[in-house]
Amino acid sequence: MADDWLSTGQAAKWLGITPAMLYRLVDAGRITPVKRGRLLKFDVDNLIAYVETQRIEPGTLSNLYPGGREASDRRVRGRSG
């Protein structure tokens, strides 16, 4: 896959984001493109590596539970049972 290069639009679509968001990630140094002439090209292997860094570990989203995780778990169990 080392020879697979995508345009900005293709890379954004592959990541499921807008080109504007892709430019923000480039500007922040999160994704590194290669400049070919006046165009930016994105290595698929580099995009895969970026996606791997975005994985969420189970149990790390406690900030998303209003009232704490236990209250959320009770609400979820109450709906399914």
Mean pLDDT (whole number) for 13-22 = 97
Higher pLDDT, 79 or 29: 29
Asked if 2 and 45 count as a contact pair (C-beta separation under 8 A), the reply is yes
* Percent of all residues in the chain with a pLDDT value above 70, rounded to a whole number: 78
Other beta carbons within 10 angstroms of residue 22's beta carbon come to: 23
Predicted model pTM: 0.69
Count of structural domains, the chain = 1
Asked if 35 and 78 count as a contact pair (C-beta separation under 8 A), the reply is no
**Residue ranges making up the domain that contains 35:** 5-80
